[in-house]
Amino acid sequence: MSTSTTLGDTRPEWAQRQERERRHRRAKSRLRLPFAAAAACQAVLLLWWAAGYPAFTGGGPTGAPLYDAAVRALHPGAVTLAQTVAVAFALGYLVAALARFGVRGRWSGPVALALAALPPTGSLVVSLSPEVPFTAGALLLTAAGLRLLARRAGGTLQRGGPAQRLDLAVLFGAVALLALTGTRGAGAALVAALVLVAALPRVRVRLALLTALALAVPIALALLGHPAARTGDLHTLRAADLALARHRDPGGAAPAAVAPPAAWDAAGADCSSTAALTDRWDAAAARRDQDGLATAWRQLLRDHPDRVLDARLCRGRLAWSVWAAADGPHAATEVPEASPSSPGLLRPLHSAAAWSRTLLRAPQLDWLLWRGALWAYLGLAAALLYAWRHRLPAVVPVAGAAVLGTQLALTAAAAGQDYRTMAAALFLGPLLLTLATVRNGRGPAS
């Protein structure tokens, strides 16, 4: 019987052929699950797209210059359709990553499909909001990180190969996508990338270089003349900090030209959202007096940093608290209404989608369906359980990197209690929860 010495393999040719066939079947089997999950999610999201055409919610300026430019250059319906494709692909990719850790498709597949179908998540995907590409970026970043970790656990991370290059390319795209959604997205991407660099030592250099390149994309666009690196409404955030300090200390400094003292005090009493002040102030005067606001804020930060932290934690409550606060008109979880200018392609489908979304806005369901904190904690708990069962502690930071980055970014720069800002946890938490279904004997597969 003939033998082969190619690449030092002295096994018979028939044995090598059988091994190649097994690898081919294994590869086809691994591809079948994510493609089926992505296709099923895409089909459901297309129903949401038809129900909310051209966009279920949104339509005005979003504060994300690149996203607004895409909406203007294309059509709102084209943008929301592209969002369904991106999120469906991200869900399928994450299902494939979880399969590497032993999660069976009968668990992860239905969860991904439910996320595409339920109103809190499905309607978000077809809305005009930069939180949609942010969420897709968080899903892709988590999936790519988990796939690289599975290779590290299986001892194949150093081999490279097309699949690993795909994971690194997806990771680069995810960080760039997060960074392009604005300052908060760039902050979340930086935190998540630093966590991945610490948890994946064998590819640290490549991860660091890819992250630096991805974060440089908005800067490069700004140098080319596009306002992609806009710092956001910093004067709005700082003014909200000043309002809380003014409420705590009525003698504190607050520019009277922007809003009367009573408005500053009332806004400070309702610190959950910057809208508590911006609904009362003179926006034109605030823009003119940005330097004055910045000076007053820096003095507050120097003299009373605790009040600045108090204000940021109050507005960032959505990131950490399972329940909404009870006081103030802006303390409840904010859920945008369906756009009256979006009748959908089929009126009955639009009516059914709007009815189901309204049904699930019952206050008793707020903590479960509209606030991401609960799912962030459940997903982290499942990752901890998996890490304990399989002696793989790195799965915890890798699985939680994107959500942690989102929470920290919200703490630093949250403007209110908009549920969409924690949508990444609403998607990631239920899928990460499927890690709890993996028994002790089934660990990561490279």
348 in any annotated domain: no
**Are 292 and 381 in a shared domain?**
no
Give counts: helices (H), strands (E), the chain: 21, 0
Token pair for 330: 């802006």
351 in any annotated domain: no
Q: Is 225 exposed, middle or buried (0-12, 13-18, 19+ CB in 10 A)?
A: exposed
Residue that terminates a domain, selected from 276, 294, 311? 311
Q: Tell me the CB-side half-sphere exposure of residue 179, using CA atoms within 13 A.
A: 25
Closest C-alpha to 431, from 124, 87, 114:
114
Residue 141 and residue 174 in contact, taking contact as beta carbons nearer than 8 Å: yes
**Range of 4-13, 58-67, 111-120, 198-207 with top mean pLDDT:** 111-120
Q: Rounded mean pLDDT of the chain?
A: 90
Distance CA 57, CA 53 (A): 10
* pLDDT, tens digit, 9 for 90 and up, residues 74-105: 999 999 999 999 999 999 999 999 999 999 99
Handedness of CA 204, 205, 208, 209 (dihedral sign): negative
Lowest mean pLDDT among 128-137, 219-228, 259-268, 418-427: 219-228
Q: Is the pLDDT of residue 224 over 80?
A: no
Model's pTM, two decimal places?
0.91
**Are 378 and 407 in a shared domain?**
yes
**Are 276 and 221 in a shared domain?**
no
**Are 112 and 225 in a shared domain?**
yes
Q: What are the backbone dihedrals phi and psi of residue 265, each rounded to the nearest 5 degrees, phi first?
A: -65, -40
**Are 63 and 208 in a shared domain?**
yes
**Are 163 and 217 in a shared domain?**
yes
* pLDDT, tens digit, 9 for 90 and up, residues 352-372: 999 999 999 999 999 999 999
Distance CA 190, CA 195 (A): 9
pLDDT of residue 25: 62
Q: Output DSSP code: residue 160.
A: -
385 in any annotated domain: yes
2 in any annotated domain: no
Total tally of structural domains belonging to the chain? 2
Question: Residue 221 belongs to what domain range?
Answer: 27-229+367-437
Q: Is the pLDDT of residue 302 over 60?
A: yes
